[in-house]
């Protein structure tokens, strides 16, 4: 691994090449630099190198980092599981929550959003491979879920998110990514008003290029930027 600046430049180059292979421009893909477990001084290096969107898994960890680093010129995304008792803090901290994975959480986000006078921007998490260990709506539950989420004053559904099974090679994730792109296209065709289904968050350090080739508009990259995390 090189420096954080070098790593970030390489990731951007890989994003641009993957986008070109799909006939897309690199500006169509948002890079979220996933900084979970990364200390603030290393995150500061990434910001200095041009990282503008940071992703965190835990609300309390993110709160401490945002207090240390500030919000000027940087947006913060929650990419991990959100507990209902952390919703109030999450709404105050994050610009986008990637992990709306159950209707009870939607109810709490909507309630807290309305109370704070804002629409909470979220992505709906899909359990694309129907893995018992992962949260999210099954593909066959998505239409009913989106109908339940549509038009809520405290929620703004921006699109879908998925985490495929751990791949041995990047190509292992392609069927899941392809299925997610198809599902998003189907959801757009359902004609549910009160939603904006523009975003598709999928792909991490091991497979983000394949995700981009299959239509990802947001990729969540940590290790390729910050290096391996402690075990």
Q: What is the third-level CATH fold of 4-223?
A: TIM Barrel (3.20.20)
Q: Two tokens at 33? A: 């630099």
pLDDT at residue number 83 = 96
User: Which pTM does this prediction carry?
Assistant: 0.96
Question: What local confidence, expressed as pLDDT, does residue 16 receive?
Answer: 98
Q: Are 97 and 121 in contact (CB under 8 A)?
A: yes
Residue 11 makes CB contacts below 8 A (sequence gap 6+) with 31, 208, 221, 224, 225
* % residues pLDDT > 70 (the chain): 99
SS3 123: strand
User: What one-character-per-residue DSSP string does 207-228 give?
Assistant: THHHHHHTT-SEEEE-HHHH-P
Alpha helices (H) along 70-173: 87-93, 103-116, 142-149
Are residues 78 and 56 in contact, defined by beta-carbon separation less than 8 angstroms? yes
| Alpha-carbon gap, residue 194 to 167, rounded angstroms | 35
CA-to-CA distance for 110 and 146, rounded, in angstroms?
14
CA angle at 22 for the pair 18 and 24, rounded to the nearest 5°: 90
Domain ranges for the chain = 4-223
Q: What is the pLDDT of residues 93-118, one digit of tens each?
A: 999 999 999 999 999 999 999 999 99
How do strand 30-34 and strand 155-162 relate by DSSP bridges? unpaired
pLDDT tens per residue, range 127-167: 988 888 888 999 999 999 999 999 999 999 999 999 999 99
Between 147 and 2, residue with greater pLDDT = 147
On the question of pLDDT at 64 being above 90, the answer is: yes
Look at residue 85 and tell me whether its pLDDT is greater than 90. yes
């Amino acid at each position: 691994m090189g420096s954080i600046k070098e790593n970030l430049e390489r990731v951007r180059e890989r994003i641009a090449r993957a986008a070109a292979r799909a006939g897309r421009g690199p500006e169509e893909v948002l890079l979220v630099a996933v900084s979970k477990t990364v200390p603030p001084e290393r995150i500061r290096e990434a910001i200095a190198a041009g990282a503008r969107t940071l992703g965190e898994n835990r609300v309390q960890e993110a709160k401490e980092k945002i207090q240390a680093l500030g919000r000027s010129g940087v947006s913060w995304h929650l990419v991990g599981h959100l507990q209902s008792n952390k919703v109030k803090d999450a709404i105050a901290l994050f610009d986008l929550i990637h992990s709306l994975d159950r209707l009870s959480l939607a109810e709490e986000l909507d309630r807290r959003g309305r109370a704070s006078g804002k629409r909470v921007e979220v992505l709906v998490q899909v359990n694309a491979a129907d893995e018992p260990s992962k949260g999210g709506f099954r593909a066959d539950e998505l239409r009913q879920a989106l109908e339940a989420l549509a038009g809520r004053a405290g929620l703004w559904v921006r699109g879908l998110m998925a985490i495929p099974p751990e791949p041995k090679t990047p190509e292992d994730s392609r069927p899941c990514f392809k299925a997610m792109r198809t599902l998003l296209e189907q959801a757009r065709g359902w004609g549910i008003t009160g939603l904006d289904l523009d975003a598709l968050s999928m792909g991490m350090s091991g497979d983000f290029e394949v995700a981009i080739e299959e239509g990802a508009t947001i990729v969540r990259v940590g290790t390729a930027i910050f290096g391996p995390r402690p075990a």
